[in-house]
Structure 1
């Protein structure tokens, strides 16, 4: 079971990540781009489109569509995730907004960790 504190700790451990506050809620950015945020006590993550569509279908109790502009992000019930899964999802969200030359070595290192 993960919490907002877990999300904060794991998100801020990613390269270049920092926290900003918007309307009292924490948002996690690299530069001015957001990859995760909390709104109304729920997490919202910017996941790969194909992956999130799969998650919406197979785990609707944990992942739900969250319309943002013309795309969907994912509402995520943190209590349904363990820390390892949350860490993987945050890494995916982070990799959606940073240049590939930055994300590639971090993703490769993550694949080789036990």
Structure 2
């Protein structure tokens, strides 16, 4: 189980990331583009994803990876931190950052 403080630590370690409140919840952004939101229950995060990635995760493990009704037309999904593996959460956080970060920054970051 990953804790929200670990999520925060991973997110803030990514270049250009800022923590900003979004509807009273902590969100992590780069260039004002959200890639993670910590939900009020402190056990769920919302991450930016691709349509294909979201489909794969939510089909494979629908108790851990959930598409909220309000996000069904957007490429975000909830992750239940109590049931997701730490490695998977870390991978998805980095992937979410890579989707919204400037492409040049992403290339440099992932090549190192």
Confirm or deny a common fold (TM above 0.5): yes
3-state SS of paired residue (1:107): helix
The number of residue pairs the alignment matches comes to: 109
Residue of 40, 53, 62 corresponding to 1:60: 62
**Cα deviation digits, residues 53-101 of structure 1 (max 9, x gap):** 0001001111011343842310100112233222111000001101211
Question: In 1, Cα distance between the equivalents of 2:18 and 2:73?
Answer: 25
Where is the strand percentage greater, Structure 1 or Structure 2? 1
Structure 1, 77-86 or 63-72: larger mean CA deviation = 63-72
Within 5 Å, give how 1:83-94 maps onto structure 2.
83-94=86-97
Within 5 Å, give how 1:63-78 maps onto structure 2.
63-66=65-68, 67-68=70-71, 70-78=73-81
CA contact (8 A) 1:6 1:83 kept: no
What are structure 2's unaligned runs of at least 5 residues? none
What are structure 1's unaligned runs of at least 5 residues? 110-114
